Amino acid sequence: MAKSKKSNPSTNLSDSQYYINRELSWLEFNSRVLHEACDARTPLLERLKFLAIFSSNLDEFFMVRIAALKQQVEAKVNLLTPDGRTPQQQLDDIRLKLSPQVTKQNEQFEQVLQPLLASEGIYILDYIELNQKQRNYLDNYFEEQIFPVLTPLAVDPSHPFPYISNLSLNLAVVLKNPDTEEEFFARVKVPKVLPRFLPLPPDLGIRQDGQPVHWSGVPLEQAIAHNLESLFPGMNIQEYHPFRITRDADLELEEDEAEDLLLAIEQELRKRRMGGTPVRLEIKSQTPESVRSRLLQDLELTEKDIYEVDGLLGLRDLMYFMALPLPELKDTPRQSVVPPRLQRLREPSVDPNVLELEEGKDFFSIIREKDLLVHHPYQSFSGTVERFIASAAHDPNVLAIKMTLYRTSGDSPIVNALIAAAENGKQVSVLVELKARFDEENNIYWARRLERVGVHVVYGLVGLKTHSKIVLVVRREKDRIRRYVHIGTGNYNPKTARLYTDLGLFSCREELGADLTDVFNFLTGYSRQKSYREILVAPVNMRDRFLELINREIENVKNGFSGRIVAKMNALVDPQTIATLYAASRAGVQIDLIIRGICCLRPGLKDISENIRVISIIGRFLEHSRVFYFHNNGQEEIYIGSADWMRRNLDRRVEVITPIKDQDIAKDLQEILGIMLADNRQAWDLQPDGSYIQRRAGEDSPETHSQQTLMSMVLRSVGII
């Protein structure tokens, strides 16, 4: 049993020294992503994928977080973060931490991965390495396919510096008039409508030793650069230099003043396509001072906004190579399965939207037997969540379907099922969150499509994003109405469900059905619901309830019992929650946190957080599930749901967390948490200074890989292995 430590009771647990900066913690997370690209144990094309993810993550970080900090500096906002930094101090510290990461990324690609790719028959060539036949092919391709798309833009007193769109790759071209010796400056945009990498035909990509090449080609910008004479006939091309800019891309929306939220967001999206204020300029390190200063001046940036690269710009485009049919260079294909209880449902043979049933078993009768937990991507999303909604859409006894949509895919079977349900005469209500960052346009499309077929579409509450993942199905059964629910940790998105680890609970417990009914009334009407039977709802009661659960563990330890908390989530930022966890640690509560991304809590601080351990797992799948375990003096309680411990989740979003009442499911969740805590392959331990150390298997201990272990467990459950 843990004993409480004697410490100064007057210690201020809100002191800035006990908190890690949010932005710097995020950079540590992205550094762990970069490590996967550097780890020789990762398959080669997967390493390219992680480089691309690192770059894509950085783009969004600059478009949102850096842009917001720069706005605060310009507005002379000097409020301190919980760790005691001003906006300008954060920008300065971010640059110090980020510059070496960018250098590491490009060195990894240029010096390590390119040679490894070449050894596997994948050649990303420089144009100057091409032989004459290859050059002739690409020059012809340029004339036929690229040249008609390009628009060279002069920059002079009569041609002001052109607007350069967000995340665009460009060439800064210096030209000279051979008659007057006068120099000119021009910009050529590398078009996004063409592939970033241009492949050579197979007959031009044969090794000298006769071994075939799987892929060879050049970056698109090099094909353009070596044909600039076609764009500027009669001029001498002096030099060219690629550059890339990032702009502020966060929506600026005054909801209180927007009479039509959908229209207001559409207008903001049009602004985003062009982008806001520039926040970053990426150039090659050998770019001369004259071009460099010209770009800074015209973009109204400073030297601190420049990030130099030795090699290709925009490595997010390396995701292109994941399409190569080379399974030996990728992760072993994943096989998701349908849970054993749902395998009693026979797939339809004629109409794919109607489930033919054996022995009278339908999806609803399976749930009536007992609650069902599903774990994606190990268990099939299409065979569980999609199937549930499709069953409801076509079941003649279903009267109504209500659900929230935060993010969904471009061709969503779920949306199609909701449309079918409306066409079948069912009452269908969907809350589409228009403010889901970078998914606004997609959500507007689905909202309009749903409205056209008679679905009741609502767009959430002013000032709150609806982030909860909930479905409510109302069904007539004999002489009663029964409600079926799905409460999940992840978005109703078939594509991300293959890549993100998420959990979902199916149940027909009356208390949950009544609670979700109240939540939907809160979302669609004027309900001021302040209490719920079982679930935790933000911003209503979730913050207070989580603090109560933590404080209960403290009281148990003070009364001579043991205290234990295990929590898994994406981010831990909320200062009040962190201070309460510190208090729990000081009381002797043993706390294990599995935080994939940002963690502002410092573990292992003497007399503050000695009983807190924090790990992050970075692997093949993006850890996205949220699970919360409280020992409760042996009367264990465990919860799952949509919320992280962040201010935005607890105070500015509609979130739903559900308790797990089924003891078998509770044990399964505890086993999942235990497997993750034992990971010594892709788990990283957070240190008190905010850095992370990756775990390694010892000489006498086997390597334990949580995601592989969970995949194997699911396959064994259905007899595949």
* Cα separations in angstroms, 230 against 129, 189, 234: 21, 15, 9
DSSP state of 146: I
Residue 539 in contact with residue 650, Cβ under 8 Å? yes
> What whole-number distance in Å separates Cα of residue 118 and Cα of residue 126?
13
Q: Cβ–Cβ contacts within 10 Å for residue 394, how many?
A: 17
- The amino acid present at 564, given as its one-letter code, is R
> What whole-number distance in Å separates Cα of residue 604 and Cα of residue 489?
29
Query: What is the bridge-based pairing of β-strands 590-595 and 653-659?
Result: unpaired
Hey, what are 664's tokens?
């078998």
> What whole-number distance in Å separates Cα of residue 333 and Cα of residue 377?
12
Residue 400 in contact with residue 524, Cβ under 8 Å? no
- The amino acid present at 283, given as its one-letter code, is I
- For 274-302, give the secondary structure using H, E and C: HCCCEEEEEEECCCCHHHHHHHHHHHCCC
- For 449-511, give the secondary structure using H, E and C: HHHHCCCEEECCCCCCEECCCEEEEEEEECCEEEEEEEEECCCCCCCHHHCEEEEEEEECCHH
> What whole-number distance in Å separates Cα of residue 392 and Cα of residue 414?
11
> What whole-number distance in Å separates Cα of residue 498 and Cα of residue 168?
29
The distance from CA 42 to its chain's CA centroid, rounded to whole angstroms, is 20
Residue 486: strand pairing partners: 471, 506
529 contacts: CB under 8 Å, gap ≥ 6? 518, 519, 521, 522, 537, 540
> Is 681 in a helix, a strand, or coil?
coil
> Would you report the helix, strand and coil content of the chain in percent, each value rounded to 5?
40, 20, 35
> What whole-number distance in Å separates Cα of residue 654 and Cα of residue 523?
9
359: left (phi over 0), alpha (psi -120 to 50) or beta: left
Residue 367 in contact with residue 485, Cβ under 8 Å? no
Instruction: List b or e across 122-158, with b for residues whose CB sees 16 or more CB atoms inside 10 angstroms.
Output: bbbbebeebeeebeebbeebbeeebeeebeebebeee
* Cα separations in angstroms, 28 against 22, 102, 673: 10, 13, 23
Nearest-10 Cα torsion for 300, 303, 306, 311: 130
Phi then psi for residue 547, to 5 deg, are -65, -40
Choose the catalytic residue: 467, 624, 631, 705. Answer: 467
> Is 582 in a helix, a strand, or coil?
helix
Active site residue 394: no
Hey, what are 170's tokens?
């460009």
* Cα separations in angstroms, 559 against 225, 585, 589: 74, 15, 12
> What whole-number distance in Å separates Cα of residue 126 and Cα of residue 108?
17
DSSP state of 39: -
> Is 614 in a helix, a strand, or coil?
strand
Hey, what are 670's tokens?
């505890």
Instruction: Write out the catalytic residue numbers.
Output: 467
